[in-house]
Structures are given as C-alpha cells and as structure tokens.
C-alpha cells in the first residue's frame, strides 16, 4: 500500500497521462523541472521510452480504449513512486463538421477518449490520494462554451467537466483539489489530427508555454495566480 506523503520534505509524486502528446509532454517537462517526481503514461511507446529516459521517470503505455488499463495507471504510478500526490490527464481527440454529419462511430470515439478514459484514470486515483492531493484534467473552453461544427467534441469535454465539478463538490471538505482546466486554444497540432472533418477558422493560438504554466499552477498554485479553469476562446 502506498505511503501517506510527507509534504514537508518530499517532492510531489505526479502521474501524467498523455505524456507523449505535445501538451502533456510539455507539462511533464515543466513539472519535472520544478523537482516533482513524475510517472509518465502515453500511447506512443517510442516517445514514452524517450521521455522516461530524459526525465529519469517511470512509465507505462496506455490506450484510451482499454478502460481497465487506464484505471490501472494510478496504482502503477503509486507503486513505482511509493505514493501518489497528483494526477494530470491531458489526452484528447477532436472532430469537426455539422452535427448531422458526425457519425455515431466518431461520437463514440470522442467520448471514449475525452470522457470515459480520463474518468477511468481519475476515479481509480481517488482512493490513492491523500490531502493535499490534486486531480487535474484538460477540458478546454468548449466545455463551457460549446462551438458550432464541434458539437460532439464539445459535448465530450463538457461531460468530463461535469464529472470533475461533481467530484470537486464531493471532496470539498477533504483537502483534495480538483482542477477542471478550461484551457484556451493552443497550437498543439490536435486540430490537424482530427478524426473527422476540417477545422473551421480558429482564434489566435495561445503560446504553449502560457498554457503549460496554467497546468503547472494547478499543482503549484501561486497566491496571485488566476483560477485553473480560466481560459480564452475555444481551444485544445
């Protein structure tokens, strides 16, 4: 059983899911630079191995369609690091086009990747985290401002946001922090990898470094920093 963390002299032990993507990888790098202990999970095995070597971190491959495998990640991380203090889920898939042209298969894929897989990870992490632990997931501004030609994508992100909001209410008195990261549009290349359709004109992208800073702030809040859900135009 993982140890209860001693926050006075130990760095936070964090699981980063999506560490082989642009955003998750940049967040993992930034958290590691702060001295956090990191356990990486991602789909691309080659990138995962490279990142694990670079950061001297433990790692495990994952597939969003394997919900049992996703749910196993928090315990793998806790066993590797002797405990778990926080989880970041930064995975996602996007599709574009009118709602009537978005197939059921595409909608199912979006909800599998954007909703069910993150919930599987975060649910499994809850029993392992001790205050002041942190759960965080990237939802994007579309979670609160659904966009035309992105109906299924917006809905999948809004569903995860609703789950995070409910868990935050459940855990309010426990000292556990739940961060619903309504990040602005950031040029991570996600739009160019859409599972269906072509992206509409998008707002100017926020710099990756600024978006990563918002993620890091969820785990290392500064007294003057804005809330983790602050964001701009629809994104990521």
Beta-bridge mates of residue 17: 41, 89
pLDDT at 192: 84
Average pLDDT rounded to a whole number, residues 20-30: 97
pLDDT beyond 70 at 8? no
Calculated CA dihedral for residues 192, 183, 139, 166, nearest 10 degrees:
180
Q: What is the pLDDT of residues 87-130, one digit of tens each?
A: 999 999 999 999 999 999 999 999 999 999 999 999 999 999 98
Q: How confident is the model at residue 232 (pLDDT cuts 50, 70, 90)?
A: very low
136 and 215 Cβ atoms separated by less than 8 Å: yes
Q: Which residue has the higher pLDDT, 106 or 229?
A: 106
- Whole-number pLDDT of residue 224: 52
Q: Is the pLDDT of residue 230 over 80?
A: no
User: How do residues 32-42 score in pLDDT, each as one tens digit?
Assistant: 999 999 999 99
Within 8 A by CB and 6+ apart from 131, the residues are: 174, 175, 176
Chain segment 71-86, per-residue pLDDT in tens = 999 999 999 999 999 9
Parse the chain into domains and list their residue ranges.
13-219
Q: What share of the chain in percent tops pLDDT 90?
A: 78
CB 70 within 8 A of CB 113: no
User: How many CB atoms lie under 10 A from the CB of residue 95?
Assistant: 22
pTM reported for the whole predicted model = 0.90
**Which CATH homologous superfamily contains domain 13-219?**
NAD(P)-binding Rossmann-like Domain (3.40.50.720)
The 10s digit of each residue's pLDDT in 157-216 is 999 999 999 999 999 889 999 999 999 889 888 888 899 999 888 888 899 999 999 999
Percent of the chain with pLDDT over 70: 91
Query: Strands (DSSP E) along the chain, which ranges?
Result: 13-17, 37-42, 58-61, 86-89, 134-138, 177-181
> Distance between CA 58 and CA 60 in Å, rounded?
7
Amino acid 85: pLDDT: 97
């Amino acid at each position: 059983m993982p140890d209860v963390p001693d926050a006075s002299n130990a760095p936070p032990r964090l699981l980063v899911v999506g560490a082989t993507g642009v955003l998750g990888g940049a967040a993992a790098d930034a958290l590691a630079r702060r001295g956090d202990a990191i356990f990486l999970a991602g789909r691309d095995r080659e990138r995962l191995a490279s990142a694990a070597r670079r950061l001297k971190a433990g790692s495990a491959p994952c597939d969003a369609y394997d919900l049992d495998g996703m749910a196993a990640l928090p315990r793998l991380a806790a066993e590797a690091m002797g405990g778990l203090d926080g989880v970041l889920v930064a995975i996602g898939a996007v599709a574009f086009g009118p709602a009537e042209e978005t197939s059921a298969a595409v909608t199912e894929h979006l909800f599998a990747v954007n909703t069910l897989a993150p919930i599987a990870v975060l649910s499994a992490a809850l029993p392992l985290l001790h205050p002041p632990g942190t759960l965080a997931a990237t939802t994007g501004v579309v979670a609160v401002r659904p966009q035309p030609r992105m109906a299924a994508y917006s809905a999948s992100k809004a569903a995860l946001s609703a789950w995070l909001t409910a868990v935050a209410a459940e855990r309010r008195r426990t000292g556990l922090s739940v961060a619903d990261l309504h990040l602005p549009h950031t040029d991570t290349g996600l739009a160019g990898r859409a599972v269906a359709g072509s992206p509409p004109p998008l707002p100017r992208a926020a710099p990756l470094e600024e978006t990563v800073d918002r993620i890091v702030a969820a785990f290392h809040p500064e007294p003057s920093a804005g809330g983790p859900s602050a964001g701009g135009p629809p994104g990521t």
